[in-house]
Structure formats: C-alpha cells, structure tokens
C-alpha cells in the first residue's frame, strides 16, 4: 500500500505543477530605465544639497559630483549658532501646535459636514476650500498692522493663528471624504449599545479614519514647517523666528560672501524630520487611499 501511494503522490504533484498559472510577461527594460530616471531626477537635488553641505572654502565653487574634501564643519557651525537652534525649537512648537489644533478642530468640522443633513453643504465645503487658494501676500500686511496693535507681533501664537487659517480648510476637505466612506451603521450600532454620539465618534469613527487623520497631520505639519512669508512678516527677532527665516538670514564671513555651505547644511537638517515623518507613516498614507472602500 505504501509503495503504491508514493507514485500516486508524485502524479498528484505533477498535475498540480501543470495547473499552476503561467508567469506574466517580464517587465520590459525600458520601464525599469524610466523608473530609475525618475528616481534620480527626484533625488538628485537633495543629493546636491548634501554635497554642498559637505564642502568648505574653495570647494564650494566647484561642481564636483563628490566633495573633494568632505567636512562636517558647516553642520558644527549651524549648531553652534544660537539663532538657528532657537529657530528649530520655534518651528517645532508652531508646527506641532498648528497640526494638533488643525486635526482636532478639522475632524469635528469634517464629521459634521459628512454626517449632518443641511442645506448648501456642498457650497459651504467649496467656500471652506476656497480659502486655501487665497494668496498669503494679500493678508501679510494687514496682519502685520493688526498683530502690532494687539500685541501678537513677534510671538509664536501670532504665527499659529494665521497658519490655522490655511491649515483648517485643507484638513476639513481631506477628512470629509474619509468620514463619508465610513459606514454609518457602525455608529448606529455603538449608539444602540449605549454610547453617546461623542463616544461613537471617538471610539468608532476616529480609529477607522486613522489613515486620513495621519495624512492630514503630515500635510499640515509640512506646510507649517516650511512656511516662510508669514513667518518673515510677523517676526522680528529670534524669540519667535522660525527656521526657514533663520536660514535666509545667515551671513558669510564677509559682506559679499554667500553662505552656501551653512545654508545647505541647515536645509539638510530641517529636511530630516519631514523625511522621517513620511517614512514612519507611509503605511497610514497608503492605507488612506483605500480606507472605507468596502461598505458594510
């Protein structure tokens, strides 16, 4: 019996092997070449920034692909500069505060627009979104005058408020689409079990909308971290100056020297938090593309 079962097993394996679906066509070489070209095109500016940050002296004027004499002197110089380190802290405080308030308030407003039945809902959402298209330069001068009169000029809260003006509409618009895709039956089941509306929102809706919340938080943080015009207009000292403004005001060793090395090193440093943020939450961002696609 055992001897007979061995050929039978081998025959079954051969039949299963024949039934395996054929492999798809191999990826053409030109497609791999196109992908490589796009990657190089996207990463080369950052590499060149890193390359310049490792050069000093006469090497800064050279166009060498690799730094002839790589040095970390530029990085040492910027961290010895108290105005830069203070600006890093200011940017972190302003960006995190703007992100926290923007996501919290934006989630409440987006949930209301997604769930409540009201007239002109689409027009209201379009009006909210239109605020993001408003040019910052148009409100910079009036804000400067207003902030100077009420004592908010050159303060961190004086930056958070206008940042929220542009962060909230984008947060609301993104989160509305996520909340609409979450089945309402889940909230109704929580209400039947005795939960309040806020508990249903906090324990049911928010966890399901986590990819959308993460995406919104990342976009808000990046916008606040990189903002330059309002930070330049509404600050005058290192007490509230953010890091993009601090980098623009670096000076060379002489009046006519452009501080390319230190500016490049500082730009690399402030890019690291953004890169880490995207890498840590990339799964959330990708999951956000399909969140709520299946309705129960």
Average pLDDT score over residue span 119-146: 83
Query: Are residues 183 and 95 part of one domain?
Result: yes
Query: Are residues 205 and 116 part of one domain?
Result: yes
**86-112 pLDDT tens trace:** 999 999 999 999 999 999 999 998 888
Which of 7 and 103 is assigned the larger pLDDT? 103
Q: Determine, yes or no, domain membership for 182.
A: yes
Q: Determine, yes or no, domain membership for 3.
A: no
Answer whether residue 15 shows pLDDT above 80.
Answer: no
**238-290 pLDDT tens trace:** 889 999 999 988 876 666 677 888 889 999 999 988 888 888 877 766 665 55
Query: Are residues 57 and 167 part of one domain?
Result: no
The alpha carbon of 295 is separated from its chain's Cα centroid by a whole number of angstroms, namely 28
Answer whether residue 292 shows pLDDT above 50.
Answer: no
Q: Residue 97: which residues within 8 A CB-CB, separation 6 or more?
A: 156, 160
Q: Determine, yes or no, domain membership for 155.
A: yes
Query: Are residues 223 and 163 part of one domain?
Result: yes
In our burial notation (b when 16+ CB lie closer than 10 A, e otherwise), range 123-154 reads eebeebeeeeeeeeeebeeebeeebeeeebbb
Here the CATH number for the domain that contains residue 261 is: 1.10.3720.10
Average pLDDT score over residue span 18-32: 69
Answer whether residue 1 shows pLDDT above 50.
Answer: no
pLDDT range class, residue 187, cuts 50, 70, 90: confident
Query: Are residues 126 and 45 part of one domain?
Result: no
> From its phi and psi, is residue 237 left (phi > 0), alpha (psi between -120 and 50) or beta?
beta
Q: Determine, yes or no, domain membership for 7.
A: no
What is the spatial distance between Cα 53 and Cα 55, in angstroms, rounded to a whole number? Answer: 6
What is the spatial distance between Cα 136 and Cα 142, in angstroms, rounded to a whole number? Answer: 11
Query: Are residues 34 and 107 part of one domain?
Result: no
The number of CA neighbours under 13 Å toward the Cβ of 212 is 27
Answer whether residue 186 shows pLDDT above 70.
Answer: yes
Average pLDDT score over residue span 181-199: 84
The number of CA neighbours under 13 Å toward the Cβ of 72 is 4
Query: Are residues 242 and 97 part of one domain?
Result: yes
What is the spatial distance between Cα 68 and Cα 133, in angstroms, rounded to a whole number? Answer: 45
Which of 120 and 113 is assigned the larger pLDDT? 113
Query: Are residues 226 and 138 part of one domain?
Result: yes
Query: Are residues 161 and 221 part of one domain?
Result: yes
What is the spatial distance between Cα 102 and Cα 222, in angstroms, rounded to a whole number? Answer: 13
**198-247 pLDDT tens trace:** 888 888 888 888 888 888 888 899 999 999 999 999 998 888 999 999 99
Last residue of a domain, one of 12, 37, 71: 71
% pLDDT > 70, the chain: 85
Distances in whole angstroms, Cα of residue 110 to Cα of each of 125, 222, 242, 246: 9, 21, 30, 35
Q: What is the pLDDT of residue 157?
A: 94
Query: Are residues 125 and 50 part of one domain?
Result: no
Last residue of a domain, one of 38, 71, 104: 71
Answer whether residue 193 shows pLDDT above 80.
Answer: yes
Q: Determine, yes or no, domain membership for 296.
A: no
- Looking at every residue in the chain, the average pLDDT score rounds to 82
**Domain span holding position 33:** 27-71
Q: What is the pLDDT of residue 229?
A: 92
What kind and span of H or E run contains 81?
A: none
Answer whether residue 150 shows pLDDT above 60.
Answer: yes
Query: Are residues 170 and 85 part of one domain?
Result: yes
Q: What is the pLDDT of residue 208?
A: 85
Query: Are residues 274 and 132 part of one domain?
Result: yes
Q: Residue 187: which residues within 8 A CB-CB, separation 6 or more?
A: 200, 201, 204, 205
**153-166 pLDDT tens trace:** 999 999 999 999 88
Q: Determine, yes or no, domain membership for 12.
A: no
123, two tokens? 């027009």
Q: What is the pLDDT of residue 296?
A: 44
Q: Determine, yes or no, domain membership for 127.
A: yes
Q: What is the pLDDT of residue 211?
A: 81
The total number of structural domains that make up the chain: 2
Answer whether residue 2 shows pLDDT above 80.
Answer: no
Confidence (pTM)? 0.81
Q: Determine, yes or no, domain membership for 258.
A: yes
């Amino acid at each position: 019996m055992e001897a007979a079962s061995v050929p039978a097993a081998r025959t079954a394996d051969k039949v299963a092997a024949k039934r395996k679906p054929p492999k798809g066509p191999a990826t053409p070489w030109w497609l791999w070449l196109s992908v490589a070209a796009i990657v190089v095109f996207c990463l080369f500016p950052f590499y060149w920034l890193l390359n310049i940050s490792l050069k000093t002296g006469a090497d800064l004027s050279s166009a060498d692909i690799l730094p002839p004499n790589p040095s970390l002197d530029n990085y040492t110089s910027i961290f010895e500069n108290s105005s830069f380190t203070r600006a890093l802290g200011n940017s972190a405080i302003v960006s995190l505060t703007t992100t926290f308030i923007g996501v919290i308030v934006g989630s409440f407003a987006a949930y209301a627009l997604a769930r409540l039945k009201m007239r002109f809902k689409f027009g209201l959402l379009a009006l909210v979104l239109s605020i993001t298209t408003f040019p910052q330069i148009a409100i910079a001068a009036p804000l400067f005058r207003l902030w100077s009169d009420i004592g908010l000029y050159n303060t961190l809260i004086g930056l958070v408020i206008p940042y929220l003006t542009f962060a909230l509409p984008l947060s609301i618009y993104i989160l509305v689409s996520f909340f609409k895709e979450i089945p309402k039956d889940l909230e109704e089941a929580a209400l039947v079990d005795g939960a309040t509306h806020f508990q249903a929102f906090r324990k049911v809706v928010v966890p399901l909308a986590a990819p959308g919340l993460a995406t919104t938080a990342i976009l808000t943080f990046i916008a606040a971290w990189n903002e330059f015009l309002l930070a330049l207009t509404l600050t005058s000292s290192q007490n509230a100056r953010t890091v993009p403004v601090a980098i623009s005001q670096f000076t060379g060793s002489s009046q006519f020297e452009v501080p390319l090395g230190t500016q490049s090193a500082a730009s690399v440093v402030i890019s690291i938090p953004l890169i880490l943020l995207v890498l840590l939450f990339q799964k959330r961002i990708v999951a956000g593309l399909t969140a709520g696609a299946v309705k129960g």
